[in-house]
Amino acid sequence: MSPENTFHYALSSNNAWAGYKAHQNPHFFPKLAGGQAPEILWIGCSDSRCPETTILGMQPGDVFVHRNIANIVSPTDINTTAVIEYAVAHLKVKHIVLCGHSACGGAAGALSDGRIGGVLDTWLLPLKTVRYNHAEELDAITDEKERVIRIAQLNVEAGIKVLMNNPTIREAIAERGLEVHGVFFDIGCGRIKELGCGTAHKSSSTISGDHVVRGKHGQLVFGQDGEAEIAAAQ
């Protein structure tokens, strides 16, 4: 697709999506315009393969979101800190989900020895620290993909520690039972699993069996001219 086409595509899809949503539920947009009351704060990677609301099967209004390179949580990063403050102190979310993922470019970057350049090396420093703190374990992993997965998981554990020390989060845990979860998204199968860190140390949410919930999902259909419309999926 040429640049102009992709641009046209997104705006045209939005048009189709808005029409479909309003048709499906006339109250959908008036309700959204009324305000937000999300229960989840999601902190994830900017990676294009991790669209949080989609992979969680949730709707607009459900998940407050911060996404950065390699889902790094640095205690003095004012960007992430402002998001946490707003979500926890003002919106009073009930869960914070920190999500790492397989095949993470940031994690792979932290495992390489060369300099990436620009500001990225500095941003990735916390991940480098994770690498050096767990050098023995990581070096023992011969498969490169597995090593990238492991450092990404250790990165979530490190991020959870930073979150658990955040004063606003500590207060919310003590006062109203805010839950903090470390999870991992496997791009190879699309599934999220709990890493057993945060407020719930042991995973209690592993889903067993193959039960599938069939929802009324919309499906985008594209014509050759790049125009999109939404049809109800079976």
**Is residue 139 among the annotated active site residues?**
no
| Active-site residue identified among 50, 66, 99, 101 | 101
Total binding residues for other proteins by CB under 8 A?
98
225 is in an annotated binding site: no
Residue 13 identity:
S
Q: Which of residues 38-77 bind other proteins (CB under 8 A)?
A: 38-40, 46-69, 77
104 is in an annotated binding site: yes
Rounded to whole angstroms, how far apart are CA atoms 197 and 183? 8
Q: Output the smallest distance, CB 136 to other proteins, in A.
A: 28
99 is in an annotated binding site: no
DSSP string, the chain: --HHHHHHHHHHHHHHHHHHHHHH-TTHHHHHHT----SEEEEEE--TT--HHHHTT--TTSEEEEEEGGG---TT-HHHHHHHHIIIIIS--SEEEEEEETT-HHHHHHHS-S---TTHHHHTHHHHHHHHHTHHHHHT--SHHHHHHHHHHHHHHHHHHHHHH-HHHHHHHHHH--EEEEEEEETTTTEEEEEEEES--S------S--------EEEEE-TTS-EEEEE--
The verdict on 174 binding other proteins (CB under 8 A) reads no
**Is residue 45 among the annotated active site residues?**
yes
**52 vs 147, beta carbon nearer other proteins:** 52
The verdict on 47 binding Zn ion (CB under 5 A) reads yes
Rounded to whole angstroms, how far apart are CA atoms 109 and 167? 31
**Is residue 49 among the annotated active site residues?**
yes
208 contact, one of Zn ion, other proteins, none, CB 5-8 Å limit per kind: none
The verdict on 105 binding other proteins (CB under 8 A) reads yes
**Is residue 121 among the annotated active site residues?**
no
47 is in an annotated binding site: yes
**Candidate ranges 38-46, 83-91, 122-130, 141-149; the one touching Zn ion (CB under 5 A):** 38-46
**Candidate ranges 10-18, 136-144, 147-155, 156-164; the one touching other proteins (CB under 8 A):** 10-18
Q: Which residues bind Zn ion (CB under 5 A)?
A: 45, 47, 104
Which residues have a catalytic role annotated? 45, 47, 49, 101, 104
Q: Which residues are annotated as a binding site?
A: 45, 47, 101, 104
